[in-house]
Chain A
Amino acid sequence: MTSRERVLAAVRHRQPDRTPFDFSWGFAPAQLTRFQEETGAADPDDYFGADTRLLRPSPTRLRTDFSSYLGPLPPGAHVDEWGIGRRPSASTDAAHAHLDGFIYPLLGVSAARGAFDYPLPDLDADYRYEDFAARVAAVQSRGVAALAVMDCTIFEVAWYMRSMEQLLLDFADASPFATALLDRITAIREVQARRFAESGADVICMGDDVGTQRGMLMSVRMWRAWLKPRLARVIAAARQVRPDVLVFFHSDGNVTAIVEDLIEIGVNILNPVQPECMDPVALRARFGHHLCLWGTVGTQSTFPFGSPEDVRREVAMRIETVGQGGGLFLAPTHMIEPEVPFANIVAFVESVRSTTVRRGGVGDEIANPVGVVRENHRHQVGHRHRSS
């Protein structure tokens, strides 16, 4: 199998030759430097043969001046196309080089009008996608799966502009400001989703951190009121173009409470399934093969603090317990931080690559064990199983 065939098989719950893997959230700068010193290679994905490559739209040509929103910036700060300022850590420790703090452009803006006036990026402009299909095709022609990524899809980018505390207060207050801001972001994301779908990308990656280590950051009721319908619109925009395009959703923390809703609106893949606070076996038992688990190897536990043997054991256990017959994609659950021993990264890749996947014991008979999926989605799932 090529990497792409392997990814598509696993994500569509068909038998892959082995479990696919990647480094979803990359290497921290200090870790990347160590990788380059250890191997003499430049790129971990190429060196280790990761099964995916991540693609994002081309850079913006806008040069928006956000100074009236941000005020004077501290030394070393930079501003992204959303107008979000980042100030570097005062730490001189090289291990902290990737850590920066936010400067919120919309924190001081209170009237709903401010959300309409704010200069949002041109991620909906055609030129941002001019070469996107060609870049997707180039990845796929090498036999690798192409992932089109829109990080921080709605909630996170809004919180980066507004501050989490203020945005959550806005939600609690049913603020017209937050409604306007989220609607404008969603409209841009809908265009982006359509462009991604048109490009032929294998998977569209969306994400918004709505989980904490213990559970949801906000109540399920609030998530359903503010975020679920907007995420559903973005997914629907992609599916209008390509009904079978795969949708990946990322949230840190424990989001078990909304998994059923995510499946209902068309999410195929959940990332990163932090094993420190979510139970992959329980998810598989409850949602069967309606959900591909992507991640599951802990960057809060095994990667930094385990031995190479611990990493191999976690990989083997995950494949054994939730990887048979597909439905599993292994990856570190977050960025590989500087303190992760290099030997653990090597052990991760070696053990994934050397472990074959048996034909699954999970089939159609328990594919819908709790009747969680609505009729419109069931058709799609049924089709998927017929093709396996």
Chain B
Amino acid sequence: MADTVDLTERLRRSVLDGDAAAAARLANEGLAGGIVPRDMVDRGLIRAMDEAGRLFEAGEFFVPELLVSARAMKAAMSILEPLLAGEAHVSAGRIAIGTVAGDLHDIGKNLVATMLRGAGFDVNDLGVDVTPARFVQAARDGAAVIGVSALLTTTMTSMRATVAALEEAGVRGRVKVMVGGAPVTQEYADAIGADGYSDNAGGAVALARRLVAQSRPS
């Protein structure tokens, strides 16, 4: 039997290095060696993406490094994921994410969705130009967190409308709302009654974990 610690560490390293071929090879090697797929995901892939997020927050990783790490993570995940299906599903939480009504700028939103997936969240990517009604529906469908993004001050106002729509629909109590995007600030997030704000994709993952923990009945 292969050494779990050694293999998951090499897997973690391959993802941080953005080496998709190595990540896929190591996932297969681990399976052949009898290593539990869940261990490879948790200790190899998720840990690597957490580290990538931290490096991004610290200014050592930039968008390209996140993208190649995510690509390597996906290469290994595509091998391991089918084998997780038999297990009781352990998700970090269900998140619906989109850009607000009117806003088609999705680069930041896509990056956050990628990092959330890398951290083990179930991500329902609603895409761009998402109306408040669709966010409400996502909350009804069981999302624990709603992630809302805007690039422009013009469309940022749709964030307030989204929070208001969740209130009006009577589902505000069951979801947490996190917001982000270039012009958005903590002050703005507070002013519209959002539960959290992050200025970067790595921070968004940490924030989502906190919000999910808060929303789970203790």
A residues lining the B interface (CB < 8 Å): 28, 89-91, 93, 95-96, 99-101, 164-165, 168-169, 171-173, 212-219, 222, 253, 276, 299-300, 304-305, 337-339
Q: Contacts A93-B102, A300-B153, A305-B153; is A169 near B199 (CB within 8 Å)?
A: no
Q: Contacts A172-B68, A337-B152, A337-B153; is A214 near B200 (CB within 8 Å)?
A: yes
Tell me the bound Cα distance from A214 to B63 in angstroms. 12
Q: Contacts A96-B154, A172-B67, A339-B154; is A222 near B62 (CB within 8 Å)?
A: yes
Q: Are A169 and B64 in contact (CB under 8 A)?
A: yes
| Contact pick for B107, options A165, A305, A338, CB 8 Å | A165
Contact with A along B150-185 (1 / 0, CB 8 A): 001111010000000000000000000000001100
Q: Are A218 and B63 in contact (CB under 8 A)?
A: yes
> Looking across the interface, which residue of chain A has its beta carbon closest to that of B200?
A214
**B71 contacts chain A at the CB level, 8 A cutoff:** yes
Contact with A along B4-34 (1 / 0, CB 8 A): 0000000000000010000000000000000
Identify which of B64, B101, B155 gathers the most chain A CB atoms within 10 Å of its CB: B64
Neighbouring A residues of B157 by C-beta, 8 Å: 339
B residues lining the A interface (CB < 8 Å): 18, 59, 62-65, 67-68, 71, 101-104, 107, 110, 128-129, 152-155, 157, 182-183, 199-200
Neighbouring A residues of B102 by C-beta, 8 Å: 89, 91, 93, 95-96, 99
> Looking across the interface, which residue of chain A has its beta carbon closest to that of B183?
A300
Q: Are B155 and A172 in contact (CB under 8 A)?
A: no
Q: What are 19 sample pairs from A and B whose C-beta atoms fall under 8 A apart?
A: A28-B154, A91-B101, A93-B102, A95-B154, A96-B102, A99-B102, A164-B107, A165-B107, A169-B64, A169-B68, A172-B64, A172-B67, A212-B182, A213-B182, A218-B62, A218-B63, A299-B153, A305-B153, A337-B154
Interface of A is mostly: loop
Tell me the bound Cα distance from A222 to B63 in angstroms. 11
Expressed in whole angstroms, the minimum distance between the Cβ of B113 and any Cβ of chain A is 12
> Looking across the interface, which residue of chain A has its beta carbon closest to that of B110?
A165
Tell me the bound Cα distance from A215 to B59 in angstroms. 8
CB-CB nearest 6 A-B residue pairs = A101-B104, A96-B102, A91-B102, A300-B183, A168-B64, A337-B154
Neighbouring A residues of B62 by C-beta, 8 Å: 216-219, 222
Neighbouring A residues of B154 by C-beta, 8 Å: 28, 95-96, 99, 337-339
Q: Contacts A89-B102, A213-B182; is A96 near B155 (CB within 8 Å)?
A: yes
Expressed in whole angstroms, the minimum distance between the Cβ of B97 and any Cβ of chain A is 16
Expressed in whole angstroms, the minimum distance between the Cβ of A338 and any Cβ of chain B is 6
Q: Are B104 and A100 in contact (CB under 8 A)?
A: yes
Q: Are B71 and A169 in contact (CB under 8 A)?
A: yes
Tell me the bound Cα distance from A93 to B131 in angstroms. 12
> Looking across the interface, which residue of chain B has its beta carbon closest to that of A171?
B64
**What total count of A-B pairs have CB within 8 Å?**
78
Expressed in whole angstroms, the minimum distance between the Cβ of B156 and any Cβ of chain A is 9
Tell me the bound Cα distance from A28 to B200 in angstroms. 28
Tell me the bound Cα distance from A300 to B104 in angstroms. 18
Q: Are A169 and B59 in contact (CB under 8 A)?
A: no
Neighbouring A residues of B65 by C-beta, 8 Å: 172, 219
Q: Are A89 and B153 in contact (CB under 8 A)?
A: no
Neighbouring A residues of B183 by C-beta, 8 Å: 276, 300
> Looking across the interface, which residue of chain A has its beta carbon closest to that of B111?
A165
Apart from A28-B154, A91-B129: 11 A-B pairs, beta carbons within 8 A:
A91-B102, A93-B101, A95-B154, A99-B152, A168-B64, A212-B182, A214-B59, A214-B199, A253-B182, A299-B153, A305-B153
> Looking across the interface, which residue of chain B has its beta carbon closest to that of A277?
B182
Q: Are A99 and B107 in contact (CB under 8 A)?
A: no
Q: Are B129 and A89 in contact (CB under 8 A)?
A: yes
> Looking across the interface, which residue of chain A has its beta carbon closest to that of B66?
A168
> Looking across the interface, which residue of chain A has its beta carbon closest to that of B181?
A213
Neighbouring A residues of B182 by C-beta, 8 Å: 212-213, 253, 300
> Looking across the interface, which residue of chain B has its beta carbon closest to that of A163?
B107
> Looking across the interface, which residue of chain B has its beta carbon closest to that of A165?
B67
Q: Are A101 and B63 in contact (CB under 8 A)?
A: no
Tell me the bound Cα distance from A218 to B155 in angstroms. 26
Neighbouring B residues of A165 by C-beta, 8 Å: 67, 107, 110
> Looking across the interface, which residue of chain B has its beta carbon closest to that of A168?
B64
Tell me the bound Cα distance from A212 to B66 in angstroms. 15
Tell me the bound Cα distance from A339 to B158 in angstroms. 12
Q: Are A90 and B64 in contact (CB under 8 A)?
A: no
Q: Are A213 and B199 in contact (CB under 8 A)?
A: yes
Expressed in whole angstroms, the minimum distance between the Cβ of A335 and any Cβ of chain B is 9
Q: Contacts A99-B103, A165-B110, A169-B68; is A217 near B199 (CB within 8 Å)?
A: no
Tell me the bound Cα distance from A173 to B68 in angstroms. 9
Q: Contacts A89-B129, A222-B62; is A99 near B155 (CB within 8 Å)?
A: yes
Neighbouring A residues of B153 by C-beta, 8 Å: 299-300, 304-305, 337, 339
Neighbouring B residues of A212 by C-beta, 8 Å: 63, 182
Neighbouring A residues of B110 by C-beta, 8 Å: 165
Q: Are B63 and A217 in contact (CB under 8 A)?
A: yes
Q: Contacts A91-B102, A172-B64; is A101 near B107 (CB within 8 Å)?
A: no
Identify which of B101, B103, B154 gathers the most chain A CB atoms within 10 Å of its CB: B154
Expressed in whole angstroms, the minimum distance between the Cβ of B56 and any Cβ of chain A is 10
Expressed in whole angstroms, the minimum distance between the Cβ of A41 and any Cβ of chain B is 23
> Looking across the interface, which residue of chain B has its beta carbon closest to that of A170?
B64
